[in-house]
Amino acid sequence: MAAPGFGKDMFSNLKTELPGQLPAYLKGQRWFGAKARELRGTEVVDFITLERDALHALIVMVKVEYQGGGADLYSVPLVSEDPGSKGEPGAPGKNLAALTVSGRNGGERVTFTDALKNETFLSLLLDGIERGLVFIGEAGELVTSHTHALSMQETGAAGSLRPRAITAEQSNNSVAYGDRLILKFFRRLEAGVNPDLEMCGFLTEKAHYQHTPQLLGALEYRGARGLRMTQGILQGFVPNQGDAWQYTMKSISNFYNEVCRNSVVGSIAESQNDAARQSIAAFLESVGLLAQRTAELHLALVSPAAATEPDFAPEPFDDKFQRSFEDALLELTNRVFGQLRHAQDGLPENAKPKVEKALGSEPQIIEQFHAALSKPIRAVRTRIHGDFHLGQVLYTGADFVIIDFEGEPARPLSQRRLKRSPLQDVAGMLRSFHYAAHAPLLASTGSVNVDDRNREKLSGWAEVWAKWVSHRYLDEYLKTARGAEFLPPNRQEIMALLQLHVLEKAVYELGYELNNRPGWVAIPLEGISKTLESSNL
């Protein structure tokens, strides 16, 4: 049924006139994840109406089809502007921030802009979650819900907390409501429950894990034939000093400055190690705390509460899973090394020796994967974070809070919900430390500026820093998680499983850098080399 503020003719106009404008509009948005792909076409498949007083808004569900096959569903919230409020409406293709369609009965064109920049719209979303409202669309509906945790807070937050869009994210959008709440609004939707909603709900309401934001509510799109998709999640806002990557960059900066100040850039002698290690003593304490929080997360995911939830109950490794995992690793390795061969001539000169070494090690990598998965793994698989690195952890100034349980966005939702070894998360953090050590030597990171004359000489110290930090993290993690059923029964088997995941992560990173930052391929190439060397000891 047509909403009073729009009318059936407006909906018809949206369906017929938006598809021609959407390709340019989507390509101009930071959150659109397929800018490099050629679009075959777009289709408006549904629109949810949200209206209050002078607000006329829509959440438009857009099917995006690509040349060569494949399609995605994107959520595009739009708000109509007063025709006289901002001068002439933007013409399609000229103003990528606006879309226009014909008005009622062919009248003056109506301009639509991003509703997530409109405070009234954002307040309506929060009010809907608090009150459990349902917003009706042409083919589906937007259903809101809230948890017991929100009920325990003061009511009426929508009217008292001013919303503000957070501009740092890309694939999704986040909105802060004062200093109490944060709404993550997913742009690309997939059938099924989003792991971020699922994991945060379990950790908040079942496992009572204290070091992740509380889940307070959700937005869910429900379409025809039982289709359900997570549109957004509402969480408690965590005051912080930035993420753990930013915090780590400060430590790296101090470390490199200390090394350069003491004129020991070119040599790494035992007598110099003590002074250099002392310069990061406080950071190592923080790393130990981060490891403890990581292990506590994994212990929460095997707590008694998990046993009663089929989607969280631990499962043993078995032959079927291990064969499937090995096949996936073989496909990953063949694909990434094919990319490496194709791209090698155009890569930076300083990376080419590492490229040749890596290409020669491909059979060894495949053999490492086979050896690790051809014998029984005496541990259980559980739900894990799935995309764990320093950027997925907030630093509060005294502690760490783990965020973003969505998993690797490039993987299908079904894969992101699979149960795996928690050591995969550990491997992700170890690789993140390695990246943190080497990133400032490739380019300025904002907080770390390295003199060009020292970049090559500091590479040895980067490995030293990464080794110290990684050892501290792993020692504290295994100390906290000792005896957990997701750990194999002895250190040799633990390290074999961990090495498998570190090598997997480094190969995955190589593919990512080849596609996105070819100038950074030296970091995963070095990671592959170091991992193979350590596994041969």
Residue whose C-alpha is closest to residue 213's, from 166, 189, 179: 179
Confidence of residue 465 (pLDDT cuts 50, 70, 90): very high
Least Cα distance to 337 among 520, 497, 521, 517 occurs for 521
Read off the amino acid at residue 336: V
If asked whether residues 154 and 130 sit together in one domain, one would say yes
Lowest mean pLDDT among 32-36, 51-55, 414-418: 32-36
Contact call for residues 384 and 424 (beta carbons, < 8 A): yes
Tell whether 1 is covered by a domain.
Answer: no
pLDDT tens figures, 258-271: 887 765 555 555 44
Q: Do the beta carbons of residue 47 and residue 58 sit within 8 Å?
A: yes
Residue whose token pair is 């919230």? 77
Compute the chain's Rg from CA coordinates.
25
Q: How far apart are CA 370 and CA 382, in angstroms?
A: 22
Give me the helix-helix angle, 352-360 and 362-373, nearest 10°: 50
115, containing H or E segment:
none
Greater model confidence, 9 or 238 = 238
Q: What is the pLDDT confidence band of residue 537, given thresholds at 50, 70 and 90?
A: very low
* Average confidence (pLDDT) over 441-454: 66
Task: Tally the residues of the chain.
Answer: 537
The angle formed by the CA atoms of residues 249, 254 and 255, to the nearest 5 degrees, is 95
From its phi and psi, is residue 87 left (phi > 0), alpha (psi between -120 and 50) or beta? left
What's the pLDDT score for residue 488? 98
Whether the per-residue pLDDT at 512 is higher than 70: the answer is yes
Structure token pair of residue 348: 């930076």
Answer whether residue 134 is part of any domain: yes
Q: Is residue 400 part of a domain?
A: yes
Give the CATH number of the domain where residue 410 resides: 3.90.1200.10
Phi, psi of 533 (to 5 degrees): -65, -45
Tell whether 3 is covered by a domain.
no
b/e for 458-474, b at 16 or more Cβ within 10 A?
A: beebbbbbbebbbebbb
Same domain, 139 and 219: yes
- Encoding tokens for residue 382? 């559980």
Residue 476: is its pLDDT beyond 80?
A: yes
The rounded percent of the chain whose pLDDT value lies above 70 is 88
Same domain, 110 and 28: yes
Q: What is the pLDDT of residue 413?
A: 87
Q: What is the CATH number of the domain that holds 340?
A: 1.20.120
Q: What is the pLDDT of residue 174?
A: 94
- Residue 163 CB-density burial (10 A; 0-12 exposed, 13-18 middle, 19+ buried): buried
Q: Which of 188, 218, 236 is the last residue of a domain?
A: 236
Residue 375 and residue 265 in contact, taking contact as beta carbons nearer than 8 Å: no
| pLDDT of 203 above 60 | yes
- Whether residue 140 is contained in a domain is answered as yes
- Rounded average pLDDT over 413-423: 94
3-state secondary structure 12-60: HHHHHHHHHHHHHHHHCCCCCCCCCCCEEEEEEEEEEEEEECCEEEEEE
The verdict on 302 and 409 lying in the same domain is yes
**Average pLDDT of the residues in 203-214:** 95
Q: DSSP of 461-479, one letter per residue?
A: HHHHHHHHHHHHHHHHHHH
Q: Are 411 and 460 members of one domain? A: yes
Q: Confidence class of residue 93 from pLDDT cuts 50, 70 and 90?
A: very low
Residues 6+ apart with CB under 8 A from 353: none
When mean pLDDT is compared across 97-111, 322-336, 356-370, the lowest value belongs to: 97-111
Looking at residue 5, its pLDDT comes to 58
How far is Cα 335 from Cα 343, in angstroms, rounded to an integer? 12
Same domain, 223 and 369: no
**Neighbouring residues of 120: CB distance < 8 A, sequence distance ≥ 6:** 52, 53, 54, 55
Using alpha carbons, list the distances in angstroms from residue 27 to 22, 38, 39, 434.
Answer: 8, 10, 10, 33
* pLDDT for residue 268: 58
Give the pLDDT score at 4: 43
Same domain, 467 and 372: no
What six digits make up the tokens of 284?
A: 């190592």
**Amino acid at the residue 332:** L
Q: Based on the number of CB atoms within 10 Å of its own CB, is 427 exposed (0-12), middle (13-18) or buried (19 or more)? A: buried
Q: What is the pLDDT of residue 166?
A: 87
Does any domain span residue 36?
yes
In 180-337, the DSSP E strands lie at 181-186, 188-189, 215-222, 228-236, 315-316
The b-or-e profile of 97-122 (16+ CB within 10 A means b, else e) is: ebbbbbbeeeeeebbbbbbbebeebb
Strand stretches in 336-464, DSSP E: 380-381, 393-395, 400-402
User: Which structure tokens are listed for 134?
Assistant: 């349902």
For position 54, what pLDDT does the model report? 87
Separation between Cα atoms, residue 246 and residue 238, nearest integer Å:
16
Q: Measure the CA dihedral 13/18/19/20, to 10°.
A: 110
Q: Give the highest mean pLDDT range of 105-109, 150-154, 179-183, 256-260.
A: 179-183
- Mean pLDDT of the residues in the chain: 89
Residue 341 counted as domain residue: yes
Do residue 202 and residue 275 come from a single domain? no
Q: What pLDDT, in 10s, does the model give residues 281-306?
A: 999 999 999 999 999 999 999 999 99
**pLDDT: is 265 or 387 the higher one?**
387
Kind and range of the H or E element at 375? none
- By residue range, what is the domain housing residue 454? 239-314+383-422+429-484
Distance in angstroms (rounded) separating the CA atoms of residues 194 and 124: 23
- 26: amino acid identity, one letter: L
Helix, strand, or coil (residue 193): coil
Local confidence band at 277 (pLDDT 50, 70, 90 cut-offs): confident
Residue 457 has pLDDT above 80, yes or no: no
**pLDDT at residue 3, as a whole number:** 42
In the chain, % of residues over pLDDT 90: 70
Whether residues 214 and 301 fall in one domain:
no
14 and 66 both lie in a single domain: yes
Same domain, yes or no: 351 and 477:
no
Instruction: Look at residue 2 and tell me if it is in a domain.
Output: no
| Total count of domains within the chain | 4
Same domain, 149 and 39: no
The last residue of one of the domains, among 236, 262, 282, is 236
* Of the residues 166, 201, 236, the one at which a domain ends: 236
Question: 3-class secondary structure for 269-312?
Answer: CHHHHHHHHHCCHHHHHHHHHHHHHHHHHHHHCCCHHHHCCCCC
User: Does 490 have pLDDT greater than 70?
Assistant: yes
